[in-house]
Structure 1
Amino acid sequence: MAADAEAIIALRGVTKVYGSGPTAFQALKGVDLDIARGDFVAVMGPSGSGKSTTMNILGCLDVPSDGSFRFKRVAVETLDRDQRALLRRRYLGFVFQGFNLLSRTTALENVELPLLYRGEDKRTRHRLGMAALEKVGLDKWWDHTPAELSGGQQQRVAIARAIVTNPDVLLADEPTGNLDSERSIEIMELLTTLNRESGITVLMVTHEGDMAAYARTVVHFKDGLVERIDANHAPGKPVEAAP
């Protein structure tokens, strides 16, 4: 991560314990991590390393057991559930491996969902939804349902839904996990374009070294801690995949 860039996310000594007593499991053991505004970050690590727990905390879907989590200098650990939900709606976008599209609604209606939750009127939802679909190259497919779209197109709709609210941070959990190699490259090139042209900070969990190669920063997790950070990674340079 660039030393002179402002950190949009800062974790200090973050721990996460599930359960209590002799059955307690410590998923995170004191994570320190800065994410610079506008960076493209790949998060890697073997199963059980803590990367998914960290992403859940960054997405305000979970809270640390201890430590500090600051988002745009706000101490997120001090927010209540409603305040964290508001932060998610206003500043974060999510892309999942399984697309998570509503099967009986059109691409446009899927993309409009976050705007509906924000109380936007129909005209505004349509305008912003179509603009988001245009960014991912699917504006001409706006009236197609997921069943009428390929896997790559479905993931593009999911990305359009994630960016329709103009988030500061896009959290992508294995976004190419259900795609073939050609479609995976298309999605990674799309994420790269959104990062560079729209300035969206991208955090992506992946097990695939060739997908992590698109990032500018690669964070390696192991045993509940950040093992190392490869800053200023040259996009395209091979990344060793997690075992």
Structure 2
Amino acid sequence: MNGGVPLIRLRGITKVYGEGSTAFQALKGVDLDIEAGDFVAIMGPSGSGKSTAMNTLGCLDTPTTGTYEFQGVPVQSLGRDQRARLRRRYLGFVFQGFNLLARTSAQENVELPLIYRGEPAASRHAAAARALASVGLAGWEHHTPAELSGGQQQRVAIARAIVTQPAVLLADEPTGNLDSQRSQEIMELLWHLNHDQGITVLMVTHEPDMAAYARRIVRFVDGVVESDTRNPHPVGMHHSAFQTQGQ
């Protein structure tokens, strides 16, 4: 950390849905800094504002008031096309439900973001193969989601999210549909992407076991950040490798 501008800075972020008597204030003044290379778990009860905060960070939603700066650039001053470009170039998304195209191979699913970018076929194929290899799926390129386990489908979804080499990976309950063994494998993968490739990871989770992999845990309650704590001993590869042997 060079003491310069943080990768992400939120100041006084509010979000109101609806108007008049039906208005609901999901965020009530959120301040948050995220440095490049951090791994942040965002926690909080249902309705606490964590998903709204995540949508704001992902440029999927715009705040009602407050400032959001990404690499020092005020995001709210960007037009719709510029925000879409920021999403495509700098952000990768992973969801609980995988969101893969059903009758399409793993390779083609992973290539999708590059197709939107207009990348030529040869470089798309190479980048998708690299991304699949980095999530442990070399050799599975031509399998469709129906031929893959839930854990493998989520690996394809992660490969799709990182194929563009984003600065930030936003993961919304990435282990929500997986059993404990597959959840642990996915968390180790996210840990490696953060630790080895330097990708900043922002993850919404309600599971303390999953949050234990993060370097930092931010808790939302009633639309504000209730606590923001460093995790001095994130669960990483060395702690959990012995648990996965022979299972």
**Which category describes the TM-score, using the shorter chain as reference length?**
over 0.9
Q: 1:161 to 1:213 in 2, by over 3 A?
A: same
User: For residues 47 and 154 of structure 1, what CA distance do their matches in structure 2 show?
Assistant: 26
Note the C-alpha offset of 1:232.
4.3
User: For residues 3 and 50 of structure 1, what CA distance do their matches in structure 2 show?
Assistant: 30
Note the C-alpha offset of 1:66.
0.2
Gaps of 5+ in 2: 237-247
CA contact (8 A) 2:110 2:159 kept: yes
TM-score of the two chains, using structure 2 as the length reference: 0.93
CA contact (8 A) 1:8 1:36 kept: yes
CA contact (8 A) 1:11 1:68 kept: yes
1:132-211 matches, within 5 Å, as: 132-211=131-210
Taking only the aligned residue pairs, the percentage that are identical comes to 70
Note the C-alpha offset of 1:236.
3.2
Note the C-alpha offset of 1:120.
0.3
Task: Please state whether the residue corresponding to 2:40 is helix, strand or coil.
Answer: strand
Note the C-alpha offset of 1:4.
4.5
Q: 1:5 to 1:95 in 2, by over 3 A?
A: farther
CA RMSD across the alignment: 1.3
* Equivalent residue letter for 1:114: P
User: For residues 5 and 201 of structure 1, what CA distance do their matches in structure 2 show?
Assistant: 16
Note the C-alpha offset of 1:234.
2.0
TM-score of the two chains, using structure 1 as the length reference: 0.95
1:38-69 Cα distance to aligned partner (Å, 9 max, x none)? 00000000000000000000000000000000
1:1-243 matches, within 5 Å, as: 4=3, 7-236=6-235
**Residue aligning to 1:241:** none
Note the C-alpha offset of 1:233.
3.7
Task: Please state whether the residue corresponding to 2:7 is helix, strand or coil.
Answer: strand
CA contact (8 A) 1:218 1:233 kept: no
1:209-238 Cα distance to aligned partner (Å, 9 max, x none)? 00000000000000000001012442139x
User: For residues 188 and 64 of structure 1, what CA distance do their matches in structure 2 show?
Assistant: 30
Task: Please state whether the residue corresponding to 1:141 is helix, strand or coil.
Answer: coil
Aligned residues: 236
User: For residues 4 and 212 of structure 2, what CA distance do their matches in structure 1 show?
Assistant: 21
Note the C-alpha offset of 1:32.
0.2
